[in-house]
């Protein structure tokens, strides 16, 4: 089986694939100081709920936007999986796609993995929207190439900034308040973040399509995306497995077998 690890700025996702299907997927808060020996008991316990164990895993692939986390996760793979992990972005790890931007080395590992995952299931051209610490819009060409995109602060980051910068604004739950015009501070903030995010995403998708000049599918993924499912006319698919599927495909493209 394959252990696929996707390290984001806020959360780290662990997923296990048996060659036919995903057997389990779990999230933990990203902590670059957490050692391999601290990860192992947590993973042992949570995988056990799905009747899985390290003795069934033979390979590991890692994508990270937090370089400091890589050392401990590499050790996790070496000690507990018994395999040297494939790491996205390292020499010799082939993605199988062109990166058509001015500085290819600046493309985040997560964005490239998402492009691979989106193209496998949905083809291109496509817009991939990933809602996490940052919200990213990534362009996948008709041949699967990564062609750039848009980066802006994520929804939780925007809410945190409001709370930190304005003494009287509380932390609030992200949800549809039921109306646009808030009647108190909490509902006004919820309206702003919920409907403001929807209008921002709809507007950027419209502008991207106009600039690209061709019909494009739109796929949404990421930890916050499910909150907005059904609220976006312009989004064709909500897919929480997109990054994991991209990691699986890259593993296979590099000769991995399960």
Would you please indicate which residues are annotated as catalytic (active-site) residues? 110
- Give residue for tokens 């972005």: 89
Pairing of strands 134-140, 126-131: antiparallel
Within the chain, residue ranges assigned H as helices are: 36-48, 70-76, 109-122, 155-165, 185-212, 242-253
DSSP single-letter state for residue 230: T
Angstrom distance (rounded) from CA 161 to CA 189: 12
Measure the CA angle with vertex 195, ends 192 and 197; round to 5°.
90
Angstrom distance (rounded) from CA 251 to CA 232: 32
């Amino acid at each position: 089986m394959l252990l696929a690890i996707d390290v984001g700025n806020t959360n780290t996702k662990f997923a296990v694939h048996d060659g036919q299907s995903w057997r389990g997927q779990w999230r933990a808060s990203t902590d670059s100081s957490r050692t391999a020996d601290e990860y192992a008991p947590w993973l042992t316990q949570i995988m056990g709920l799905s009747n899985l164990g390290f003795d069934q895993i033979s390979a590991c692939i890692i994508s990270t936007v937090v370089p400091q986390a890589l050392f401990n996760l590499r050790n996790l793979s070496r000690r507990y999986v018994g395999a040297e992990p494939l790491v996205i972005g390292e020499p010799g790890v082939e993605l199988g796609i062109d990166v058509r931007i001015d500085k290819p080395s600046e493309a985040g590992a997560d964005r490239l993995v998402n492009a691979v995952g989106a193209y496998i299931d949905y083809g291109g051209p496509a817009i991939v929207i990933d809602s996490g610490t940052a919200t990213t819009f990534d362009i996948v060409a008709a041949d699967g190439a990564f062609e750039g995109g848009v980066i802006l602060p994520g929804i939780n980051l925007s809410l945190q900034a409001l709370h930190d910068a304005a003494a009287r604004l509380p932390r609030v739950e992200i949800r549809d308040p039921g109306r646009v015009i808030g009647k108190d501070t909490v509902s006004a903030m919820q309206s702003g973040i919920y409907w403001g995010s929807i209008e921002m995403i709809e507007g950027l998708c419209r502008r991207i399509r106009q600039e690209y000049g061709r019909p494009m599918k739109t796929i949404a993924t990421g930890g916050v995306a499910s909150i907005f499912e059904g609220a976006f006319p312009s989004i064709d698919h909500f897919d929480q497995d997109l990054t994991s599927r991209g990691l699986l495909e890259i593993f296979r493209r590099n000769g991995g077998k399960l």
